[in-house]
Homo-oligomer: A and B are copies of this chain.
Amino acid sequence: MSDNSLEKNQRPSFGRFDPPRRILLGPGPSPVDDRVLNAMTAPVLGHLDPIFLQCMDDIQSMLRYVFETENRVTFPVSGTGSAGMEAAIVNSIEPGDDVVVCVIGVFGERMVEIVERAGGRPVTVRSEWGEPVDPNRIEDALKSCKARALVLVHAETSTGVLQKLDGLADLAHSRDALLVVDAVASLGGIPVGVDRNHIDVCYSGSQKCLSAPPGLAPITFSERAVSRLRSRKTKVQSWYLDASMVEKYWGAERTYHHTAPISSNYALREALRLVCEDGLQARWQRHELNHQALVAGLEAMGIQMLVAPENRANCVNAVCVPDGVDDALVRSRLLEKTSIDIAGGLGRLKGRIWRIGLMGSGSTRENVLLLIQGLHEAIAEQGHQLPNGFQAAEAIYEAHSAVTA
């Protein structure tokens, strides 16, 4: 081996990476508590070490609590939220299956794409962006085909819309279709209620309202979904995401499938501990309160929300960029001056909205007030003098304190 040229000339030499601390108020990743970051400094164990197996059991137990389910098959997929989406779909459908897909934004479109790549035939029900899909149209779509699954996004981070889950399981199950729900943005911030809502496959991401680093996608399968999986005629097209195999590692068999991302699971365990310490109800209430304060502040500034009040996902706020204001410039000034990171619009909403996430550890009174102040200043810099929304936001917190005192 004589590649000295490689050794001498091409060996890269980078310094230590020392990123600044941002206040992550985009649509994810959300801010990660230091307890969660520090959990990753624990020594790496082997993926079959009895002590790691205990860590897995703890994670599953806490995931069942957060999903509000007793589903046995509940585990984190070893990939990001999009891997969770792909896992949910490829484990639910077979080539040739009709699949009703509700599309209320970019992530619904992604579902259509994945259904097609899995050989399914998507029957789409699309809303105007900024609105949910009318359940009557879902029923019509289910009746128009032999749907094997109804798949939809609960809280669509591209539009800030919440698709309500009430009654959808009845619609799906009456046609023998599985109900598959993307709870990437909502789980841990907005009630999902897997068992209450009779969801068959539900997945999330570690980096939204659970506030762990991105890289894992919690998923859960009802008995109906498991029995569908067992009676498939074809193998799941993805070996990596095949739940019938992965569940044997997370279940009693402990059969090796792939090496679990050990440190990421340590982080998820600690993030779930924080959720359990909060309690789900308190966490949901916190997300709703901070959302209300944000909206009050923005509206007092004369800034409009994209979505009607009854359809808003409180963890992702789609905020209309005021006329004449430079979307990207406001975002970059916010980041420079206040370290607050918010996002622009995706797809057809690019340049038209800001996406402000109040998720998990990021959903705090302090962040809401900082953001309203920062946004006001960044817009003022562009010569637009809006009213200050600070007091309107404060008033929401004061009213809440009065009620709960």
- Copies of this chain: 2
Pair A261/B44 contact, Cβ less than 8 Å? no
Q: What residue in chain B is nearest A29 (Cβ atoms)?
A: B44
CB-CB < 8 A to A256: which residues of B? 346
Pair A68/B6 contact, Cβ less than 8 Å? yes
Q: What residue in chain B is nearest A21 (Cβ atoms)?
A: B43
Pair A259/B40 contact, Cβ less than 8 Å? no
- Is the C-beta of A188 less than 8 angstroms from some C-beta in chain B? no
Pair A32/B20 contact, Cβ less than 8 Å? no
- Is the C-beta of A174 less than 8 angstroms from some C-beta in chain B? no
- Is the C-beta of A386 less than 8 angstroms from some C-beta in chain B? no
Pair A17/B266 contact, Cβ less than 8 Å? yes
- Is the C-beta of A58 less than 8 angstroms from some C-beta in chain B? yes
CB-CB < 8 A to A7: which residues of B? 279-281
Pair B81/A259 contact, Cβ less than 8 Å? yes
CA of A24 to CA of B51 in the docked complex: distance in angstroms? 14
Q: What residue in chain B is nearest A245 (Cβ atoms)?
A: B113
Pair A39/B51 contact, Cβ less than 8 Å? no
Pair A41/B46 contact, Cβ less than 8 Å? no
Q: What residue in chain B is nearest A110 (Cβ atoms)?
A: B239
Q: Provided the pairs A82-B240, A86-B238 are in contact, do residues A17 and B39 lie with their beta carbons within 8 angstroms? A: yes
Q: Provided the pairs A6-B68, A276-B12 are in contact, do residues A44 and B17 lie with their beta carbons within 8 angstroms? A: no
Of B40, B46, B346, which is within 8 A of A29 by CB? B46
CB-CB < 8 A to A281: which residues of B? 1, 3, 7
Q: Provided the pairs A65-B11, A262-B29 are in contact, do residues A213 and B113 lie with their beta carbons within 8 angstroms? A: no
Pair A280/B214 contact, Cβ less than 8 Å? no
